[in-house]
Amino acid sequence: MNRAAAHLHRTSSLVRDDVRALALAAGFNEAGVVALPYAAEERDARRFTSWMRAGRAGTMRYLQRTTDEGQLARARVRNPFPWARSALVCFASYGNASAPLSSKTRDPRSGWIARYAWSSRVDDRGQRRPSDYHKVLLRRLREVETKLHAQLGEFESRAYVDTGPVVERSLAVAAGLGWTGKNTCLIHPRLGSWGFLAVLLTALEVNPESKTAELPDHCGTCTRCIQACPTHALDVPYQMDATRCIAYLTIEHRGPIAEELMPGIGRQVFGCDICQDVCPWNGKALRTGPIVTDPELEPRPELVNPTLEWLASLDERSFEREFNGSPVRRARFNGLRRNVAIAMGNSGLVGFVPQLEAWATAADDGLRAAARWALRRLRTRA
113 is a domain residue = no
Neighbours of 61 (CB within 10 A): 8
Gap between the Cα atoms of 46 and 54, Å rounded: 12
| Residue where a domain terminates, one of 210, 238, 255 | 210
Please indicate, yes or no, whether residues 238 and 347 belong to a single structural domain of this protein: yes
Range list of β-strands (E), the chain: 30-35, 86-93, 112-113, 119-122, 128-130, 157-160, 179-180, 186-187, 195-202, 268-270, 298-299
| Residue where a domain terminates, one of 185, 210, 235 | 210
Domain carrying residue 42: 3-105+121-210
Gap between the Cα atoms of 262 and 69, Å rounded: 40
pLDDT digits (tens, 9 = 90+) for 203-231: 999 998 887 888 999 999 999 999 999 99
Query: 253 — alpha (psi -120 to 50), left (phi > 0) or beta?
Result: beta
116 is a domain residue = no
221 is a domain residue = no
In this structure, the strands spanning 86-93 and 195-202 are antiparallel
**Between residues 126 and 24, which one has the greater pLDDT?**
24
The proportion of the chain whose per-residue pLDDT surpasses 70, expressed as a percent, equals 96
Is 162 designated active site? yes
Please indicate, yes or no, whether residues 131 and 232 belong to a single structural domain of this protein: no
Of 68, 123, 124, 162, which is the active-site residue? 162
Gap between the Cα atoms of 63 and 320, Å rounded: 27
Please indicate, yes or no, whether residues 193 and 270 belong to a single structural domain of this protein: no
Compute the average pLDDT of residues 128-137.
93
Please indicate, yes or no, whether residues 230 and 200 belong to a single structural domain of this protein: no
Compute the average pLDDT of residues 322-350.
97
83 is a domain residue = yes
Find out whether the peptide bond into 37 is cis, omega within 30 degrees of 0. yes
- Contact indicator for 178, 187 with CB cutoff of 8 Å: yes
pLDDT for position 9: 43
pLDDT digits (tens, 9 = 90+) for 148-169: 999 999 999 999 999 999 999 9
Please indicate, yes or no, whether residues 272 and 342 belong to a single structural domain of this protein: yes
Please indicate, yes or no, whether residues 97 and 242 belong to a single structural domain of this protein: no
Please indicate, yes or no, whether residues 204 and 320 belong to a single structural domain of this protein: no
Total domains in the chain come to 2
Please indicate, yes or no, whether residues 310 and 243 belong to a single structural domain of this protein: yes
295 is a domain residue = no
What does 198-212 look like in DSSP terms, one character per residue?
EEEEESSPBPGGG--
pLDDT digits (tens, 9 = 90+) for 68-110: 889 999 999 999 999 999 999 999 999 887 788 887 878 999 9
Please indicate, yes or no, whether residues 263 and 139 belong to a single structural domain of this protein: no
Please indicate, yes or no, whether residues 201 and 239 belong to a single structural domain of this protein: no
Please indicate, yes or no, whether residues 148 and 279 belong to a single structural domain of this protein: no
| Residue where a domain terminates, one of 155, 185, 210 | 210
215 is a domain residue = no
Please indicate, yes or no, whether residues 176 and 244 belong to a single structural domain of this protein: no
298 is a domain residue = no
